[in-house]
Structure 1
Amino acid sequence: MLESLFSAPVIPIDQLWTVERGAPNLILWAVPAMIVLTAIEMIVTYIQEKPYYDKWETVGSVLVGLGSLVVGAGVKLGLLYGVVWVYNQLPWRMELQWWTLIPCYLIFDFCSYWAHRVSHGQRFWWATHVVHHSGEHYNLSVSFRLSWIQNLKIIFFVPVALIGFHPIVFFTVSQLAVLFQFWVHTEYIKKLPRWVEYIFATPSNHRVHHGSQEKYIDKNFGATFIFWDRIFDTYQPEEERPIYGITTNIDQKANPFHINFHELSDIVRDVKSAKGWRNKWFYAFGSPIKVAQQKQRMTELRVEETEPVA
C-alpha cells in the first residue's frame, strides 16, 4: 500500500492546467459568503451600537482584501509551477489520495505556527504580517487584511512540499487553512467549550493574539490548532478584554498602500540612517519590539540633548 502511495508519476509541466483545475478555488468560492457574513455583523453591530467597526478602517480592510485577491491571482502560476517542480524532483511522490489532506493539514499548520512566530520575531518578516494587526477594531473584515507580500512566506512551507504531498492536496490545504481563520475574527463568539478552546485557535484564543497589552503580545500563534502554543509555551488565555492594534498605530487607515508598505518604508529609512552593518542588520531583522524600544530611546536622547540646561 505504501509503495503504491509513494510511486506517483511526474506531472508534465505542460499539464499544469490539470493541477489548477483539480485544486478547487475555495477562497474565490467563499468570498460571497464572507462578504454576506461580514455585512450581517456590521448591521448587527450598528443596531446594537457596538464599537466593533470603524468606517475608514473597514474601507481599508476591504481594499487590502481586494488587492490580496489580485496579487494572489497574479502569483498563482508561479507558485503552482514551483510546487509541481519540487514534487517532480522527489522520488517519494504521493498519489492524489484525499485522505492525505489530514496529515498534510496538520503538518501545514505546524509550519504555519513557526512562520507566524518568526513573523513576529524578525522585523523583515513582520513587514509581511503587520498589515493584519494594524486594525484597531476586531471584526470579520480584519480577516481581509492580508499583506500583498505575504507570499514571500512560502519559504516556510517548503518542508510540506518536500514530504511529497500531491500539489492538488497542498493547494487545497493552503486554502482551507486561510478560510478557517475567517470566523475567528469576531467579538460575537465568546469562549467555546473547554475542549474546543484547548485544541483549536478559537475567536477567544485569536483575540488574545491581536491584543496589544504586554501579556498578550507574541502569544497564540496557532492558525488552526492552538496546541502548538501549549507545546511551545506561547499560549495565553483571554482574560481582560484585548486592546487591538499595534504598539504605534498607523494613520491613513483607508489607504491600502500605506497599510501594506508603511513598515517596509520605515525599515528602509532606518537602515539608511543606521551607522555600521551591525546596526543596519538590527533595524532590518531585529525583534520589532526591541527595534521600537531602541527608536524610543534614541528619540528621548535627542530630546534631552535639545533641552536647555538650567
Structure 2
Amino acid sequence: MTPQQFEQDLQPLLLYATPLIFICIAVEYWLVRHDPHHRYDHDDLKASVGIGLGSLLINGLFKAAIVGISLFCYEIVPWRLPNTWWSWILAYLGIDLCNYFAHFIAHKQRIWWATHVTHHSSEHFNLATSFRNSWTQHIKIIFFLPVWLSGIHPVITFTCYQIDLLYQFWIHTEVIHKLPRWFEYIFVTPSHHRVHHGKNTLYLDKNFGTTFILWDRLFGTFQEETETPVYGITKPVESQNVIYLNFHEWRDIVREVRQAKSLREAAAILFGPP
C-alpha cells in the first residue's frame, strides 16, 4: 500500500464531525449562559479555540510522517490479520488500551506531562476544553506501535483512532450528570472525566480511560465522582496565551535540566513525577 492509496481509503471522520461539534458547543454555551458557576469564560474559550486551531495545523504537518511510520510498521511484520469485523474490535480495543497507557504515563513522568499539561490548563470544564490538545502531543505516537505492528490494516487502525478521538469530545461537559449504571460501568462518561480533570486530592491521577473505563477498573486507577471537582493544574497557569499554555512546562524543564549537577539529576527531572 502506498501513502496515496492510504489517503484514498481513509475517511476523514474528524472533518465530517466538525459541524456537529460546533453545534454541540453552541447548544452547551446557550444552556449554561445564565449559570455563573458553569458558563463559558470568554478568555478561556479563546485560548481553547486557539490551541485547537494550532493543533489542526500541526496535525496536518505531521500527518505524512505518522502515515509513513504506520505503513512501514505494517509492511515489516510477516503476518496479516484479515479485514473482518473482529479485526475492527481488536483494533479499537488496542487503540484504546494504548491511549490508556499513554495517558497514564503522561501523568507520571514529567517529560510526557509536558506533552499533556496543556489539556489540563483550563480551570473550566466544557466541550471547548476538548480542543486543548498540546502542540507537542505527537511525541506520544510511540505508545501506539503495538497496534501498528499487530498486522491489522492501517486504514482500520487509523479509523479506530479517529473514532476514539471523537468519543473524547462529548465527555468534556458538566451539562450531562450521571448516565445509566451499566453505561457508567463500561464506558468513560462526563462524570468520570470530570474526576480526571479535577485537582482535588482525591481525584489526582484517576480515570485515564478514553472510551472504556474498564481499564481504570482493571488497573486500579478508577475513582467515582463523589465531590465537586476543582479544575486546572495544581500550579495554576500564569497566562491564557496559547504559546505559553503549550510550552511553559517545556521551558521549565529545559531551565532545570541546564541547572542539574549530574546526569542522574537531569534524568530525575525528565522522568520523575511532574
TM over 0.5: yes
TM-score, with length taken from structure 2: 0.97
Partner of 1:219: 206
Partner of 1:168: 155
Please tell me whether residue 280 in structure 1 is matched to residue 241 in structure 2: no
Partner of 1:259: 245
Deviation, structure 1 residue 49: 4.2
TM-score, with length taken from structure 1: 0.86
Q: Any idea what SS the aligned residue of 1:121 has? A: coil
Counterpart CA distance in 2 for 1:134 and 1:48 is 22
Cα deviations by residue, 1:145-195 (Å, 9 ceiling, x for unpaired): 001111111100100111111010011011001000000000010011111
Q: Any idea what SS the aligned residue of 2:228 has? A: coil
Letter in 2 for 1:278: R
Counterpart CA distance in 2 for 1:52 and 1:214 is 25
Give percent identity, aligned residues only.
Answer: 48
Q: How many matched pairs?
A: 274
Letter in 2 for 1:182: F
- Maintained 8 Å contact 1:52/1:138: no
Cα deviations by residue, 1:40-87 (Å, 9 ceiling, x for unpaired): 211221144443321111100001001111111111111111111111
Letter in 2 for 1:54: D
Deviation, structure 1 residue 35: 1.4
Q: What does 1:79-90 align with in structure 2 at a 5 Å threshold? A: 79-90=66-77
Partner of 1:234: 221
Deviation, structure 1 residue 33: 1.4
- Maintained 8 Å contact 1:98/1:169: no
Deviation, structure 1 residue 248: 0.7
Q: Any idea what SS the aligned residue of 1:46 has? A: coil
Runs (5+) with no aligned partner, structure 1: 1-10, 289-310
Alignment match of 1:130 (pick from 117, 121, 137): 117
Runs (5+) with no aligned partner, structure 2: none
Q: Report runs of 4+ in structure 1 exceeding 4 Å deviation.
A: none
Cα deviations by residue, 1:66-118 (Å, 9 ceiling, x for unpaired): 11111111111111111111111111123433552111101111111111000
- Maintained 8 Å contact 2:38/2:174: no
Counterpart CA distance in 2 for 1:22 and 1:98 is 17
- Maintained 8 Å contact 1:96/1:168: no
- Maintained 8 Å contact 1:64/1:146: yes
Partner of 1:189: 176
Cα deviations by residue, 1:182-239 (Å, 9 ceiling, x for unpaired): 0000001001111111111100011000000111000000110001111111100000
Q: What does 1:147-162 align with in structure 2 at a 5 Å threshold? A: 147-162=134-149
Q: What does 1:45-124 align with in structure 2 at a 5 Å threshold? A: 45-97=32-84, 99-124=86-111
Partner of 1:268: 254
- Maintained 8 Å contact 1:142/1:185: yes
